[in-house]
Structure 1
């Protein structure tokens, strides 16, 4: 018997439809994207995380000549957050990625490894993390939880 899975997400038309905090996260993700270390792919990604205490943490992708040694912006940011704010919940994660010289793009979602890493932190804190992924033009997709992007997810409950 075939079954179907659907995901829920919100399409936000552009930057003007964001609230003040969402605009701040967009702006910070865009700014940190501009200083990403991406000499090999020239694909730059910025991430901004809002913590429950109101603090915003940012990070960008960090490439390496030994490709598996690099790290995506989402994991750079979430791992820094986990190391420095281990007991503070993550409320929102905002990501923007595109080729360095692009002036237009489509919303770029987190890769599979980043989705799994975000899932780990969401499970740890026992609270959903809103995920936003945006284009350079301001088109944004929003999910209420990483589980919307990973419907058959693997977490510690299976161990």
Structure 2
């Protein structure tokens, strides 16, 4: 694994410990690197009322926008899932990413074994529902 990806992986492993996942015991962590070298963190937060939980990707993206950043400020999205196989964003997260992140922004996916895949939202959700489709 490249040194940079190894460093990100180690950060994600530490961050995943902040996950609140007492029901699934499936920890997810997301780091969003900004072009100004800041980073925004997110973890999954579950709730006994399952639909009330929120995924790590949406936690991090909500913070990005809350801090006043926009899609053009995002350098990369790094995602860790507590899995032995390739984990990837759920459908809801893919839709949110498609609207809040530039389509060419790199998305790196990691699991328990380290870096697995670099992709982007265009590849993960090629036929996303777009704001323009709301036009009458």
Aligned to 1:30: 13
State yes or no: 1:152 paired with 2:127. yes
Please give the residue correspondences for 1:5-154 in structure 2 after superposition, counting only pairs within 5 Å. 16=1, 18-20=2-4, 22-87=5-70, 89-98=73-82, 105-122=84-101, 126=102, 128-143=104-119, 145-154=120-129
Q: Distance in 2 between matches of 1:38 and 1:112?
A: 19
TM-score (norm 2): 0.88
Moved over 3 A (4+): none
Kindly name which structure, 1 or 2, has the bigger radius of gyration based on alpha carbons: 1
CA drift at 1:95: 0.8
Which stretches in structure 2 are left out of the alignment for 5+ residues?
none
Measured in 2, the distance between the counterparts of 1:127 and 1:53 equals 19
Residue 128 of structure 1: how far off its partner (Å)? 2.4
Structure 1: runs of 5 or more not aligned = 1-15, 100-104
Q: Distance in 1 between matches of 2:12 and 2:24?
A: 19
The total of aligned residue pairs comes to 133
Equivalent pair of 1:47/1:60 in contact (CA under 8 Å): yes
Aligned-residue CA RMSD (Å): 1.7
Q: CA deviation at 1:54?
A: 0.8
- Partner SS, residue 21 of structure 2: coil
Q: Give the TM-score, by structure 1 length.
A: 0.77
Give the conservation status (yes or no) of the 8 Å contact 1:36–1:44: yes
Given that residues 32 and 46 in structure 1 are in contact (C-alpha distance below 8 angstroms), is that contact kept between their aligned partners in structure 2? Answer: yes
Shift of residue 97, structure 1, vs aligned partner:
1.1
